[in-house]
Structure 1
Amino acid sequence: MRWWDIESVLRLEVDLFPDDAWSPGMFWSELAHACGPAATRHYVVAEAGGRLVGYAGLAAVDRTADVQTIAAARDHWGTGLGARLLTNLITAATAFECHEVLLEVRVDNLRAQRLYERFGFAPLGIRKGYYQPGNVDALVMRLADPASPTPAAQCPVQGQGSVQGSAQGTKTHG
């Protein structure tokens, strides 16, 4: 993800997460930490047919990675795009030499939970009232060893589009 992607990312963000969409400033702040030798973030976008159809981001601090956001356009649900984005983030976590990857996902988002479970994420706990508005709880999930991918993470995912980003640079809505 680069600064020129933010406008398209925001359109998708508002469509998918109208009640708690990130602001432009939040994306700018994340990208500011994605550059240079001291980078602690990794953000990517996915494009298909010249259109931005997904994005994902990861923060890495003290050998722990945290999935900040992952999103796929509705017309790309079920195509494997989410798996490609998650694979990219896990690869970045390994490049950052992280020993674990954490994420939060809405307790009512079973589709995303199934994706994370296929990659080896296991439930760790609940954060009460994490998603606002509405006081929706978040399920905290953990991948204990991102350097040892599960069979789901090792399989190439078929589908159109490409995920673009750098494994060295760089919210979970599931």
Structure 2
Amino acid sequence: MTVEYGVLALGDADRCGELEGELFPGDDPWPAAAFIRELESAHNHYVAARLGDELVGYAGVSRLGRKPPYEFEVHTIGVDKRYQGQGIGRALLDRLLGIADGGTVFLEVRTDNAAAIGLYESVGFTVVGTRKRYYRVSGADAYTMRRQSKDGEQ
């Protein structure tokens, strides 16, 4: 299995919406239109994971602020259930962290998503707070996690 990584394109929006529905059915999954809006924003950066012509994963990060040092926020990471546990999510996250270039990075993750929390902790994220009922449809809570900048600024 050779996964290729590259830029997520507008033409991938339908597949992203499909995967969102499968991965996050009870948590208000993003439709294709949301991905189009995200991809059209100048401060967002999205990466794709492909097996041949099939999109099997996607991830996005947004640069926050107008002047350096920038902070970043991970908006989403999703991997087709058939390919989870094979390092694709980690590779996508690594690419997002590369885009952040050592800046402080934030994200939200469901408090019951042990696999994702473990992945984030393994690359230096720590829990800095809890957002009650963050996921509107399910009412599930989320942790806010932060990975401090490489120079230690917060």
TM-score (norm 1): 0.76
Q: Which amino acid aligns with 1:42?
A: H
- In terms of mean alpha carbon deviation, does 14-23 or 81-90 score higher? 14-23
1:26, distance to aligned residue in structure 2 (A): 1.4
1:146, distance to aligned residue in structure 2 (A): 5.3
Unpaired runs of 5+ in structure 1? 34-38, 149-174
Larger RCO (CA within 8 A; separation ≥ 6): 1
- For residues 91-138 of structure 1, give each alpha carbon's deviation from its aligned partner in whole angstroms, at most 9, with x where no partner exists: 0111xxx63000000000000000000000011000000012221100
- 1:50 — aligned with what? 53
Q: Which amino acid aligns with 1:74?
A: K
- For residues 126-174 of structure 1, give each alpha carbon's deviation from its aligned partner in whole angstroms, at most 9, with x where no partner exists: 00000122211000100002589xxxxxxxxxxxxxxxxxxxxxxxxxx
Q: What secondary structure, in the 3-state scheme, does the structure 1 residue paired with 2:137 have?
A: coil
Q: Does 1:138 align with 2:145?
A: no
Q: Which amino acid aligns with 2:71?
A: T
1:109 pairs with one of 90, 113, 125? 113
Runs of 4+ in 1 over 4 A off after TM superposition: none
CA distance in structure 2 between the aligned counterparts of 1:28 and 1:146, rounded to whole angstroms: 32
Unpaired runs of 5+ in structure 2? 1-7
- 1:72 — aligned with what? 79
